[in-house]
Amino acid sequence: MADSKRHNWREPPELRERTKEFQKPQTLAEDALWDAVRGQEQDGLKFRIQHPIQWAIADFCCPHLKLIVEVDGSVHNEGDQAIHDHVRDEWLVEQGYTIIRFTNTDIEDHLQVVLNQIKQKAKSLSHQRERDGPGQPEPE
């Protein structure tokens, strides 16, 4: 093929651009969680931050397990944002993802508890995959 590089993006180009804008943690809580989860590769978990999934962007995603961790500030409880989150979450679950949510305060005040909950959910999903077969994990 003599033309330029081929890209295997399933997301629209405007989502890729928006994702690049958010590649770094946006809050202190996201920063603390990112520092903690990116070091969990020894536990078999590989997370990506601000990971695009078609039209949606997950705060943290472990593609292998289709596990999404969302970090919510107070804005997520308000009107349109709460509705958007609900619609987005329903769609992601339909795509086979499992979503767990924590507030900024949860992470700031109880980081180790949050990490333990993430590990427990990952362990549960891993056992489920072993029992049910691999299914369709997202490409790494």
Residue 8 maps to a domain:
no
Percent of the chain with pLDDT over 70: 71
- 20 is a domain residue: yes
4 part of a folded domain: no
Domain count, the chain: 1
| Banded model confidence at residue 10, pLDDT cuts 50, 70, 90 | low
Residue 46 lies in a domain: yes
Q: Give the pairing type, strands 98-103 and 67-72.
A: parallel
For residue 21, being part of any structural domain is answered with yes
Does 131 reside within a domain?
Answer: no
Provide DSSP, 26-49.
-SHHHHHHHHHHTTGGGGT---EE
DSSP state of 23: -
For residue range 117-128, what is the model confidence (pLDDT) as tens digits?
999 999 999 988
Q: What is the pLDDT of residues 95-110, one digit of tens each?
A: 999 999 999 999 999 9
The position carrying tokens 């997370």 is 47
- 101 is written with which tokens? 């949510």
CATH code at position 52: 3.40.960.10
Which domain does 22 fall in, by range? 13-125
Helix (H, G, I), strand (E, B) or coil at 95: coil
Beta strands in the chain (DSSP E): 48-53, 56-62, 67-72, 98-103
